[in-house]
Amino acid sequence: MSTHTTDVSHIAPREKAEILSQALPYIRKFHGKTIVIKYGGNAMTDPELQQDFAEDVVLLKLVGLNPVVVHGGGPQIEGALSRLGKKGQFIQGMRVTDEETMEVVEWVLAGQVQQDIVGLINAAGGKAVGLTGRDGGMIRAKQLKMVDKDDPAKEHDIGQVGDIVSIDPSVVKALQDDQFIPVVSPIGFGEKNESYNINADVVAAKLATVLQAEKLLMLTNIRGVLDKQGELLTELTPRRIDELVEDGTISGGMIPKIAGAIDAAKSGVNAVHIIDGRVPHSMLLEVLTDQAYGTMISSR
């Protein structure tokens, strides 16, 4: 794998020192704290951004923070299913996951995607360990009940798509205490040992809550939450978000992302950041500098 370094030779030494000293208060403030990172979108498919991401995670660990990565993999699952000639069926935007589809989901998420991420972090100098919700009995799940959008009395069976019953984070804590970086695939298990595919945003938000994380960082394919004029809203509170949903500023695919973020913010996660994963090192810039590279939702 080729290693690339960002060329900083054009930056004057004094400016470099300024940049580094600006990070110091943040390193001090967040030292020893847990940060849950939802990794998806462009950051996950562009090779250079993948490397930037891995370097950022390793750096955060080295300066004393405790990153935990939760990843998605929708496009990769789609690709694997089409190679097998299996047509995806969707109800209200959710993939119907029969037993065969679930098998593919498991080997794509817990095999290919997870091990790619583990490899990238290890190549960047970290010690990553891949987990699914089965490991250490971490994510107990049940079948997600999907209510029909037009007829609330009707429910759709979408197969092995899961809703979280509980999260036991002890395996994640044990790894963190031992200098490892946990990389979690969003797969849970049910009462009869069946597997469930769970929305990665939901897993990240719930895990951040259970771990009492300092921050939840959600890497996305957008700049953050925008107002009606298309300007970035750098800071929001749960109350302000309710107003933006009501007036239609926040709509569509942003609503479920924001819902998980609000839940986490209301449940004790100090700050949730929705970050543009298309910007190189956006995660590092958001955590360790004054500059906003996305929208921060604070519980206060």
Binding residues for substrate: 73-74, 95, 197
Q: Between vectors from CA 110 to CA 179 and to CA 263, what angle results, nearest 5°?
A: 75
Q: Between vectors from CA 74 to CA 70 and to CA 77, what angle results, nearest 5°?
A: 110
CA distance 27 to 160: 41
CA atoms within 13 A on the CB side of 70: 26
Binding site as annotated, residues: 73-74, 95, 197
CA-based nearest residue to 78, from 92, 91, 95: 95
Q: Between vectors from CA 205 to CA 202 and to CA 209, what angle results, nearest 5°?
A: 135
Q: How many CB atoms lie within 10 A of CB 28?
A: 10
Query: What is the phi/psi pair of residue 78, to 5°?
Result: -55, -45
Query: What is the phi/psi pair of residue 297, to 5°?
Result: -110, 115
Antiparallel, parallel or unpaired: β 162-167 and 139-143: antiparallel
CA distance 53 to 181: 13
